[in-house]
Amino acid sequence: MLQGVPVCKDDPAFPRDPRQGRVMSFSKDGSLFGWGNGQKVSVLRSKDSEVLQTLDLPKTTMLQFSPLNTILVTWQPYTTADNPQGDSNLQLWDVQTGALLKSLYQKKLEGWSPCWSEDEKLAVRSVNNELHFFENNDFNTIANKLHMQKVSDYILLNPPGCGVVFLQVAVCVPGSKGAPSFVRIYQYPNFGGPSAALANKSFFKADRVSMEWNKKGTAVLVTASVDVDKSGASYYGEQNLHYLDIKGEGAVVQLPKNGPIYDVVWSPTSTEFCVVYGFMPAKATVYNLKCDPVFDFGTGPRNAAYYSPQGNILVLAGFGNLRGQMEVWDVKKYKQVSKPQVPDSTHFFWCPDGEHIVTATCSPRLRVSNGYKIWHYTGTLLHKEETPAGKELWEVRWQPSPAGTFPERPVKYQAAPSPLGSTQPTTTQAYRPPAMRNQPATASTKLHEEEAPQDMRPGSDRQPVSKAALKNQKKREAKKASKQEAKPDAAEPHSNSAPNPNSQSAESCGDPETDKKIKNLKKKLKAIEELKEQQASGKTLQKNQVSHPVT
């Protein structure tokens, strides 16, 4: 399936489970597969479909394997129906023997599974306001503790070839006596307060914090969000993106367009990252480790970004409430490869080979038209599978592969052959009112702003603007948005109506004294027009109204 179109036939070596699946999970290297059907949880070996373990766990809703396939973690919702004190709902199982190693209490689904280092020498889980560390998979002994109030996120990072384990801890203290939020990076087991941290970043305006490490474990991107924008410029609150590396260097990533931050993703090369942000149509920009823009993809209907496993292709997509457009880019040449349409998609996953993509429409996000499609990145649809009537599709996954299985290949621009063809969108003209159809297109006839892609690398025609210019631009956009929200019912003038000499632009930025004179002059002209109408109707005007100008 990883190297071509899947053959959708029952495999006699792997008989189909007739019961409806509730949960499934591959191990990190793809060698093991686990699933639950509402009665039992089973684990099989992928290469020969041999069932290794069957566990009597009818209520299990989550599964996960440890990095080296030593432990299977199962979780079921916490309940006190049978026991007023509550039953332990998090179990750790030995994959080889099926023995229960430890039962724990985990009430919340968020952060339900322990987090391991890649070599499984260290594991950590959050318990109330403490992080408990376990060494060598001995969950009966707490080897170390880190006490922090309101820990919102943490990750153990053990990059390949690096003998150091980095612990990422984010603490969010929104509005608590004016204290800021902060992110600290520690080296295990040195937890001797803020001074022991490898890096420390504090910032205000943070009700929530989310973090994204690069693959090498050298830098982290922190998205800080507040639910309410006090300036009133945005309904979506306010978000800021911060960069922090293990040397303690940090910066605020300058985003030249106001609006939400939809997605932040690192390239697998760990040398750059992509941000999708701004009010629709959203912008997408690639930044380097200095937080300087490398390439701006312009604006478009998008809210997500996906790098291929090899890092040579980037897909910008608009899913959810958008129409499902995908933009496939060669990130070495920054040239667009294809632009397929995938309407109603709720899931997107790259195949480990870096050439195939699966998109799916799954429940409960959408309960109709469930199914999945397999694509080549050149925009060709290779396979389509629809869920039978009365059934629901809950999840679609590629089988993972060990690192290095699929090397990077040159990017192709010619569409791959397929009997199903391609879904490249046909060129259509945008709707224009009848009065404007015989006129040349201008910026004023467009429904919203459109920006073309720009190469921001040194030597290109377009260079990055200064931070001061970005700040001033954001202030102007916020001021404009505030005025628009203050007058939501203001109607636009009809395209055929004559210009009103008494109207004044809400965005006028001229000299105040000149504006005052213009206003007085318009007032006098209006009075003259009224007098002319009265005289034409037969009314006798006073002498000073006829022989002298109106004052």
Which of the four pLDDT bands, split at 50, 70 and 90, describes residue 342? Answer: confident
Q: What is the DSSP letter of 95?
A: T
pTM of the predicted protein model: 0.72
37 token code pair: 């059907």
Which of the four pLDDT bands, split at 50, 70 and 90, describes residue 275? Answer: very high
Which of the four pLDDT bands, split at 50, 70 and 90, describes residue 100? Answer: very high
* Number of Cβ atoms within 10 Å of the Cβ of 249: 13
Q: For residue 313, what pLDDT is reported?
A: 94
Average pLDDT of span 346-374: 87
* Distance from C-alpha of 70 to C-alpha of 94, rounded to nearest angstrom: 6
349, 397 contact by CB (below 8 A): yes
* Peptide linkage before 281 cis (omega within 30 of 0): yes
Task: Decide if pLDDT at 509 tops 60.
Answer: no
Which of the four pLDDT bands, split at 50, 70 and 90, describes residue 524? Answer: confident
* Distance from C-alpha of 311 to C-alpha of 271, rounded to nearest angstrom: 10
Query: Which is more confident, 533 or 68?
Result: 68
Task: Give the SS3 label for residue 471.
Answer: helix
- Which among 211, 197, 289 has a CA at the least distance from the CA of 246? 197
37, 17 contact by CB (below 8 A): yes
Q: For residue 162, what pLDDT is reported?
A: 45
The pLDDT tens digits of the residues spanning 399-449 come to 999 888 899 899 998 888 777 755 555 545 555 666 666 666 554 545 556
Q: For residue 167, what pLDDT is reported?
A: 56
Q: For residue 429, what pLDDT is reported?
A: 57
Strand locations in 289-414 (E): 293-300, 304-307, 313-317, 326-330, 335-338, 347-350, 356-361, 371-376, 381-386
* Distance from C-alpha of 306 to C-alpha of 359, rounded to nearest angstrom: 12
Which of the four pLDDT bands, split at 50, 70 and 90, describes residue 498? Answer: very low
Q: For residue 137, what pLDDT is reported?
A: 92
Dump the DSSP string for 284-304: EEEEETTS-EEEEEEEES--E
282, 290 contact by CB (below 8 A): no
Q: What is the DSSP letter of 503?
A: -
445 token code pair: 């006839």
Q: What is the DSSP letter of 446?
A: S
- Which among 416, 325, 333, 404 has a CA at the least distance from the CA of 377? 416
Average pLDDT of span 292-310: 92
508 token code pair: 């006028």
